[in-house]
Chains A and B, each alone.
Chain A
């Protein structure tokens, strides 16, 4: 239970409970959105004069439109089951990062204005007035939650702090206090089609370069098609897959799998983004607008299926919400899941014996797997509950010889967030991101000590970016995080490909400049 210096805590165990450090993360805030960012998400540009009325109005509206919000504000009995479940609390010790305390920041105001007890006996039930300080406190602590839902697994009533965080962010947006990172990105998606603001020309050039690399590598014309009408499959993947490491190696993996499976597929420049930050800010309308781009792309290109690339929250929106937001998809081939995850696709091909692998291509690494929070606790793969845990592991084991799971209390439904999800993957929150990742990093260090694990695979663009940034702080190289389809790409033997002897080094080692 050591209390360290200012540095991130070196934990004895991944789930060690810290002593409370009130105010430890007080005042930490991400940059606020500028008026031009706010307008693009349909929110006022700056704090509106009647912010208090507007905030309470929005709160009342949420109570009428969202059952989760209403029930969760009422039902909490403060049992404390969730208090030690948040990675940000474990990493920072700030009591307001305990899920129940985070909810209480909003619940206390809800009680004051909307419940009998709070109206007449505020001191008894911990109710308080809505003031500008409270607004600032909300902005601070509702941007120290990655909406990972770990707390909801352990709550006896299933109270999901993510729902409260999303509600709080929506209220803040509504009064003109938005987060720059998320809202700016949503604006880019609406304008250009992806989070990066990568225009169709640049995207085409990038994909063509990658096709050349693939041809150099394999001697085969493995394609990365863009905007090809009549293709069977529309691939929706996070735009980080087009340029970031190790994401891009995953993209090459998808291309090889599609190639070997002999299916026709395409990327869309109009919907060149799987990520949907509308989720992070709790905005149904923004989430819907972004989702409808995917529907439009599918209709315009005349595809039969939609497959999503490796992205955690995107898969939540795709799996759980796409049908709601942009359905019904009766124009697609009903014989396939709508939408389908790339890992479901790849695993099907493996099961049918359509892919050949040389597992020894991954022998230079010893591997573990990080369950991404949104995939683990807010979606599924395959037909059986829990397929979201089994299918990625099955694929990894099919292409790697050395695989080891981390502590069972830190994987699958109990998985720890990478520390950068939910719209927190921004440099202005780096301190929080490092501290929030320390439980996961500690669990990783354990398997490194025990089994000599060198690399961790992930299937989420945010996890990959976050880990490549924070892993060096914990004694790992930044390329110690790998895409699952990067491993597939390393091991797959394409029909008719050049001999592999040119690959004397591990394929993913060649791009680690910087």
Chain B
């Protein structure tokens, strides 16, 4: 029974995050940028923009320029998240790939840096007057949700092990529409519930910053306005 409920929730959440994010991305991609507005100095070539984006996405270059504390906590949390996600791949594939194997150690301990980063970000929301001012309840709930996911995961790994073999069998079963047995471990169920919640709210929340950054005209435009004419379709209509 538990297995069936979580299986259905998991399918729904997957559909929402995939379709929802795809729809948002489609609407970003289809909305024209009428003018050239890269924040300069900006790259003058496509490759230059590619590297600018790499520096933004991998190293949070602009945030680093802005505030070292936010950068430290934010970068720590995001990079830990990548390691953790990579490590979790082992529960979704039958034969574990070599790089997933290789990342197990780092991915396991990344849970601590993940939590430290989130803790720092949460602390700032209360401690810094300016950030407290701009904080909405959803900003705090989002951090608590991530902390909840991280904490429950860490618990299962380091404190109260769950029956991970059954969990993996359950997850692998989902891909064949086979609703297997899910251990009735409260920590596990809390972990999964929070992950499902995160997936569902992803496309309607500020988590859209992840795909959004790639569509930011101030970061993804090439500085070549004098050489190449840029014209949005609706603006071209004005010329008729």
Per-residue CB proximity of B107-140 to A under 8 Å, as 1/0? 0000000000000010010001111011111110
Give the contacting residue for B42; candidates A77, A157, A327, A385; CB below 8 A. Answer: A385
In the complex, the chain B residue whose C-beta lies closest to that of A70 is B31
Q: Are A117 and B136 closer than 8 Å at their CB atoms?
A: no
Q: Which residues of the other chain, A, contact B238 by a CB distance below 8 angstroms?
A: 285, 288
Give the contacting residue for A67; candidates B31, B43, B201, B231; CB below 8 A. Answer: B31
Whether A378 is near chain B, meaning CB under 8 Å from some CB there, is yes
Give the contacting residue for A149; candidates B39, B134, B235; CB below 8 A. Answer: B39
- Which of B33, B43, B135 has the most CB atoms of chain A within a 10 A radius of its CB? B33
In the complex, the chain A residue whose C-beta lies closest to that of B207 is A77
23 contacts between A and B (CB under 8 A): A20-B133, A64-B31, A66-B34, A67-B217, A78-B131, A78-B134, A95-B133, A100-B134, A104-B134, A117-B204, A125-B136, A126-B136, A152-B218, A153-B62, A154-B67, A156-B62, A157-B209, A157-B213, A158-B218, A160-B39, A320-B225, A339-B226, A377-B39
Q: Are A79 and B70 closer than 8 Å at their CB atoms?
A: yes
Q: Which residues of the other chain, B, contact A152 by a CB distance below 8 angstroms?
A: 39, 218
Whether A63 is near chain B, meaning CB under 8 Å from some CB there, is yes
Whether A74 is near chain B, meaning CB under 8 Å from some CB there, is yes
Q: Which residues of the other chain, B, contact A78 by a CB distance below 8 angstroms?
A: 131, 134-136, 139, 206
Within 8 A of A (CB), among B10-37: 24, 27-28, 31-37
Q: Which residues of the other chain, A, contact B218 by a CB distance below 8 angstroms?
A: 68, 149, 152, 158-160
Whether B65 is near chain A, meaning CB under 8 Å from some CB there, is yes
Whether B157 is near chain A, meaning CB under 8 Å from some CB there, is no
From residue A197, how far is it (CB to closest CB) to chain B in Å?
Answer: 27
Within 8 A of A (CB), among B139-192: 139, 141
Q: Which residues of the other chain, A, contact B213 by a CB distance below 8 angstroms?
A: 75, 156-158
From residue B223, how far is it (CB to closest CB) to chain A in Å?
Answer: 6
Whether A355 is near chain B, meaning CB under 8 Å from some CB there, is no
Within 8 A of B (CB), among A74-93: 74-85
Whether B91 is near chain A, meaning CB under 8 Å from some CB there, is no
Q: Which residues of the other chain, B, contact A104 by a CB distance below 8 angstroms?
A: 134
Whether A163 is near chain B, meaning CB under 8 Å from some CB there, is yes
Whether A131 is near chain B, meaning CB under 8 Å from some CB there, is no
Per-residue CB proximity of B201-221 to A under 8 Å, as 1/0? 100111011001101111100
Whether A269 is near chain B, meaning CB under 8 Å from some CB there, is no
Within 8 A of A (CB), among B59-80: 60, 62-63, 65-67, 70, 74
Q: How many residues of B contact A (CB 8 A)?
A: 63
Give the contacting residue for A65; candidates B24, B136, B225, B234; CB below 8 A. Answer: B234
Q: Which residues of the other chain, B, contact A413 by a CB distance below 8 angstroms?
A: 39-41
A124→B137 CA distance, assembly (Å): 5
In the complex, the chain B residue whose C-beta lies closest to that of A22 is B133
In order of increasing CB-CB distance, the 9 nearest A-B pairs are A75-B212, A154-B66, A385-B41, A158-B218, A126-B136, A81-B66, A158-B219, A80-B131, A83-B130
Q: Please give 18 more A-B residue pairs, beta carbons under 8 A apart, in addition to A85-B66, A156-B66, A389-B41.
A: A19-B129, A65-B32, A66-B33, A70-B28, A70-B31, A74-B206, A74-B208, A75-B208, A76-B209, A79-B121, A98-B130, A98-B134, A117-B204, A124-B136, A154-B67, A324-B230, A378-B39, A385-B40
- Which of A20, A68, A72, A377 has the most CB atoms of chain B within a 10 A radius of its CB? A68
From residue A125, how far is it (CB to closest CB) to chain B in Å?
Answer: 5
Contact (A156, B56) CB under 8 Å given A67-B33, A323-B230: yes
In the complex, the chain B residue whose C-beta lies closest to that of A120 is B204
A153→B178 CA distance, assembly (Å): 50
In the complex, the chain A residue whose C-beta lies closest to that of B65 is A154
Whether B44 is near chain A, meaning CB under 8 Å from some CB there, is yes
Q: Are B205 and A68 closer than 8 Å at their CB atoms?
A: no
Whether A319 is near chain B, meaning CB under 8 Å from some CB there, is yes
In the complex, the chain B residue whose C-beta lies closest to that of A96 is B133
Q: Are A65 and B128 closer than 8 Å at their CB atoms?
A: no
Q: Which residues of the other chain, B, contact A327 by a CB distance below 8 angstroms?
A: 229
In the complex, the chain A residue whose C-beta lies closest to that of B204 is A116
From residue B189, how far is it (CB to closest CB) to chain A in Å?
Answer: 24
Within 8 A of B (CB), among A121-167: 121, 123-126, 149, 152-160, 163
Q: Are A284 and B34 closer than 8 Å at their CB atoms?
A: yes
Whether A482 is near chain B, meaning CB under 8 Å from some CB there, is no
Per-residue CB proximity of A89-109 to B under 8 Å, as 1/0? 000000100101100100000
Contact (A160, B37) CB under 8 Å given A65-B32, A324-B235, A385-B42: yes
Q: Are A324 and B130 closer than 8 Å at their CB atoms?
A: no
Q: Which residues of the other chain, B, contact A64 by a CB distance below 8 angstroms?
A: 31
Whether B232 is near chain A, meaning CB under 8 Å from some CB there, is yes
From residue B29, how far is it (CB to closest CB) to chain A in Å?
Answer: 9
From residue A503, how far is it (CB to closest CB) to chain B in Å?
Answer: 38
Q: Which residues of the other chain, A, contact B41 by a CB distance below 8 angstroms?
A: 380, 385-386, 388-389, 413
Contact (A321, B234) CB under 8 Å given A77-B209, A157-B213, A376-B40: no
In the complex, the chain B residue whose C-beta lies closest to that of A150 is B39
Q: Which residues of the other chain, B, contact A20 by a CB distance below 8 angstroms?
A: 129-130, 133
In the complex, the chain A residue whose C-beta lies closest to that of B223 is A380
From residue A293, how far is it (CB to closest CB) to chain B in Å?
Answer: 15
Give the contacting residue for B217; candidates A68, A81, A82; CB below 8 A. Answer: A68
Q: Which residues of the other chain, A, contact B230 by a CB distance below 8 angstroms?
A: 323-324
In the complex, the chain A residue whose C-beta lies closest to that of B73 is A79
Give the contacting residue for B232; candidates A65, A83, A388; CB below 8 A. Answer: A65
Q: Are B39 and A153 closer than 8 Å at their CB atoms?
A: yes
Q: Which residues of the other chain, B, contact A83 by a CB distance below 8 angstroms?
A: 130-131, 134
Q: Which residues of the other chain, B, contact A159 by a CB distance below 8 angstroms?
A: 216, 218
Q: Which residues of the other chain, A, contact B208 by a CB distance below 8 angstroms?
A: 74-75
Q: Which residues of the other chain, A, contact B62 by a CB distance below 8 angstroms?
A: 81, 153-156, 158
- Which of B63, B225, B234 has the most CB atoms of chain A within a 10 A radius of its CB? B225
Q: Which residues of the other chain, B, contact A68 by a CB distance below 8 angstroms?
A: 33, 37, 216-218
A68→B217 CA distance, assembly (Å): 6
Give the contacting residue for B133; candidates A101, A116, A117, A160; CB below 8 A. Answer: A101
In the complex, the chain A residue whose C-beta lies closest to that of B29 is A67
Q: Are A77 and B206 closer than 8 Å at their CB atoms?
A: yes
Contact (A380, B209) CB under 8 Å given A67-B31, A80-B128, A324-B235: no
